[in-house]
Structure 1
């Protein structure tokens, strides 16, 4: 209103009003151009966030699977051992050796309990961790994609000057900006957590028995099974020596070509498992039934057996089952030995440390850095459009207050209005 009055009284003021009117038409181009630049930057930042988070969650899932698979492998090795022990126990029950079968039953039950505990812990941890990672990844991806759509819609509605839609999109973008800052803090925490986890894995290599991962991979419990394994080794060693002593007697009398049984363990007190060091003229424990087959009587009643067939069919079946179970136990022995020394666990963690830890930390760092960049861009972008909306609203109110005043002036003071038109060309405006 004051500008109109000044314009009516002075031609110079009218020129100033024309300059301001031209500025009102040209100045809004700068916020729009800056907003377009920030929109492009936001799209680039969204791409970085999606790529970094996808790689991080892929690496994290791989690390979790290696740890849990190692625990599952440990329980499977224990079950293989206890299965062989149960086979020996059942064979001894048939032969009537109740004391030995009771001892083996206790050993088998203890190992089965430890294997079940490891398997239960591994299953629960796998389910919880994988579910948590999946939820975080889905929520992050959906939020970032929604952020991308909102940024594009905000810019389009701003360019097309759709004020009502623009108000809602500005409010939505403020909410998404807050979520981006929250995700930035969360992935920053994950980067620190990944670094700490790799440190824990490195510490596990040094001291497996005193570590926070002992609940999943209890090497101290594995170590407690070492006396049991040593006892089994000693029994097999003594049994093979007794069998070879009987074979020596048979070689001296009836069967000079009878082969000795390979003793897979070294002499006490080490009882080291070394099946590769057996002499060439020996047979494995599992091959004993093949040798005894020719000495076994085929007649169940034993009435039509020759002099060389001195083993009954029932005794042959017991020996076959017994030697087969012992051979199964020997096949599982290297796995149990590596478990007791926690070597398989150390190998798995060494794989994580050498192949996955550095990329995991790098992608976590990229995730929170790109989220921080996106959050900053969103703040500036929303501020630009908020400022633009406020300016447009002020200009609309300003235009609405000038026009009624001019109409009133035209009705009340026709002479002055006519002079004003002659001086500043109001009719052309």
Structure 2
């Protein structure tokens, strides 16, 4: 147990593992799955097809995905252009005195047009109310999804910190006895400290950015719906009052709101496509966690591969297992040298062995419950070793008589290695979690299995509602124009539907 080389092997193995991990662990700023490719027009490349994967850092992915809402943007442009053209035409014709749209229609005609306006207004009010519900639901589910993913990042940071604290304890213990191991540990803890800062900064930035984005979508839909409901209710009042100037203002406002609703339709469709891409990435990773064929984040390329992480953990288990086996052998050798049992006492001379918490080859799994009941637990070794240590000023005969067979010259160094192994084993569950990216995988599994479908449903419902309102507002605005043309120059009593020949 006094030989420092017995501990250097597991230590170096641990350092190699953590250095490989931390080299690639700036996870959350990295790409998502790339094996899933899209073929979408990319406005930033003169509308050539974007054939990349789901990459939230790639501006071409965002541009091509945002372009999927072109139907909404195009309709908004066409509707606005048509409104400007039609409005200009009416203004010119009115000022030239050449516009005479007035025809005496039967009462049933006025009743039919009034009924259609009421129906389309009711539909617009109902679906605008549904947009409020869908908007609130999509915001809530978006926040939950982002909190889960960023929570996985925070958990990853905490796990790295736990491993780092364990290494710092080992570093402190070995400093007086093993300068090379101390320097290696100092290097890796500094690297891990930078990694935790990097993850912390990214989580903070991503949380702020996602909150701003979610609030922007939510506020845009909320403002539109609120204004639309106010205008629709106000339009009902104007309709019953037959106030013609107010009716013209209502048409202009409805035209603008219809344009805005088509813009939001395109934007919400883009949000719907993005939600589908995101959930598809999570679901594919959940189904196949082999980074060679499906790597959701570059962080997982170093630790999501089950076989790789098992190799790392088996190597650590093997080296600790080997160290404890060598320690047991050395203890037994020292005891026999010091105590020198005679033939009569050979059968009764038994040395209790240190508990090896790792199974044998090939896996070397961590299984502390498999230790024999009479074995020495590692955390008990310091107390036991102090009772077995022979002080250098004590005669050898007295030490033999008292069963103190361990030399004091090796006590300090051996204690340092024992406590280092103890700290390594205590840190092993965090190492295991780090090796398998457990916090991130749990977050992805939660999103893929429990949150994705409700999230996609709420976003799809939001888009469907705004799309319905957009079509309905087009029809309603057209009917209002027809109604304005019918009513111009005619007299109505308050709340009447059919015009009168003379004013009330």
TM-score between both structures, scaled by the size of structure 1: 0.72
Corresponding position: 1:262 with 2:361? no
Q: Which residue of 1 aligns with 2:223?
A: 142
The 5 Å alignment of 1:227-246 reads: 232-246=316-330
Q: Which residue of 1 aligns with 2:244?
A: 163
* Structure 2 CA distance for aligned equivalents of residues 47 and 75 of structure 1: 42
Q: Could you tell me how far 1:79 is from its partner in structure 2?
A: 1.9
Corresponding position: 1:103 with 2:198? no
Q: Is the 8 A contact 1:91 1:318 kept in 2?
A: no
Q: Which residue of 2 aligns with 1:7?
A: none
* Structure 2 CA distance for aligned equivalents of residues 103 and 119 of structure 1: 24
Q: Which residue of 2 aligns with 1:410?
A: none
Alpha carbons of structure 1 residues 153 and 248: separation in structure 2 relative to 1, 3 Å? same
Corresponding position: 1:124 with 2:205? yes
Higher helix share: 1
1:272 alignment partner, SS class = coil
Q: Is the 8 A contact 2:357 2:367 kept in 1?
A: yes
- For residue 136 of structure 2, the aligned residue among 46, 49, 54 is 54
Q: Which residue of 1 aligns with 2:373?
A: 280
Q: Which residue of 2 aligns with 1:200?
A: 281
* Structure 1 CA distance for aligned equivalents of residues 162 and 191 of structure 2: 14
Corresponding position: 1:89 with 2:171? yes
Q: Is the 8 A contact 1:195 1:361 kept in 2?
A: yes
Q: Is the 8 A contact 1:57 1:137 kept in 2?
A: yes
2:296 alignment partner, SS class = helix
CA offsets per residue over residues 10-50 of structure 1, 9 Å max, x none? xxxxxxxxxx98957x8544433332222222221012212
Q: Could you tell me how far 1:244 is from its partner in structure 2?
A: 2.3
Q: Which residue of 2 aligns with 1:363?
A: 458
TM-score between both structures, scaled by the size of structure 2: 0.62
Gaps of 5+ in 2: 1-102, 340-347, 492-500
What is the root-mean-square deviation of aligned Cα atoms in Å?
3.9
Alpha carbons of structure 1 residues 36 and 260: separation in structure 2 relative to 1, 3 Å? same
* Structure 2 CA distance for aligned equivalents of residues 22 and 116 of structure 1: 76
Q: Is the 8 A contact 1:72 1:122 kept in 2?
A: yes
Q: Could you tell me how far 1:98 is from its partner in structure 2?
A: 0.6
1:282 alignment partner, SS class = coil
Q: Is the 8 A contact 1:46 1:148 kept in 2?
A: yes
Alpha carbons of structure 1 residues 35 and 117: separation in structure 2 relative to 1, 3 Å? same
* Structure 2 CA distance for aligned equivalents of residues 322 and 158 of structure 1: 89
